[in-house]
Amino acid sequence: MTANLGRKPLGNPCPEYPAWSSLSSRFSGIHHVRPHKVNLSFTFHDNKTGHQDIVLRFAGEEWICDSYYFAIDNELLPETEDDRKIRAVLVRLHEQWLEAVQELKADEVAYLPFDFSDQGTGWLRCTATSTGYSVVQGWSSVEGWSFSPSAVGGLLHKLEDFRASGPALEVAASDLQAAIRGSAACAAYPSKERDVQGLSSPSAAPHVKR
């Protein structure tokens, strides 16, 4: 499980999707949420290896992950392990993210998994606030093989050993939800991967081990 911790602004990860346009205008009159654009994308870049081909970009950082556990997911399309299956599982994971954050009330927490490895998993922790969400990336010792990406279940709301890594980002609720929808649109269609800025080859990016 690896991470590239550069903080260069990423811009719009999927320009064809309107969720990112003029986001700062939505923050007028809000005093407790900084006017952050929610640069979020979680996409599959097929290199035919099952490794270093899933990329999460969020808040100016990126994490390069493996699609292996998406391919062998037992809950969705269990009879196949091809690229179409990986995309289907990835879209279903986005749907679970969205469902989890939409049902939160103030001070409640959702955990959104993105990195599935043998000995641990990567997550975004979203805590509902009065104006939106506080989002922070982190890790858990829950193994990637212990649940299916397409059916995360109770871990979406209860993850005992989550360890935050880095600062939290305050975002408006509508902006995070729109960003998840936009990321799902990018994840579903191979042609949109070319719109993810600054990424020519995930395996060529610099890595920092977790």
What's the pLDDT at 186? 86
Between 142 and 195, the higher pLDDT residue: 142
Compare 32 and 59 and report the one with higher pLDDT: 59
CA atoms within 13 A on the CB side of 36: 23
Residue 208 has pLDDT above 90, yes or no: no
Nearest CA-CA partner of 178 in 11, 55, 39 = 39
Given a cut of 60, whether residue 23 has pLDDT beyond it is no
- Residue 136 pLDDT > 60, yes or no? yes
pLDDT at residue 50 tops 80? yes
Kindly indicate the confidence band of residue 102, based on its pLDDT and cuts at 50, 70 and 90.
very high
Q: Give me the percent of the chain exceeding a pLDDT of 90.
A: 65
pLDDT at 187: 87
For residue 104, how many other CB atoms are within 10 A of its CB? 17
User: How many Å from the N-terminal Cα to the C-terminal Cα in the chain?
Assistant: 6
Per-residue model confidence as pLDDT tens digits over 29-40: 333 334 466 788
Q: Is 115 helix (H, G, I), strand (E, B) or coil?
A: strand
Distance, in Å, from the CA atom of 184 to the CA atom of 94, rounded to the nearest integer, reads: 6
Map out the domains of the chain as residue ranges.
Answer: 2-209
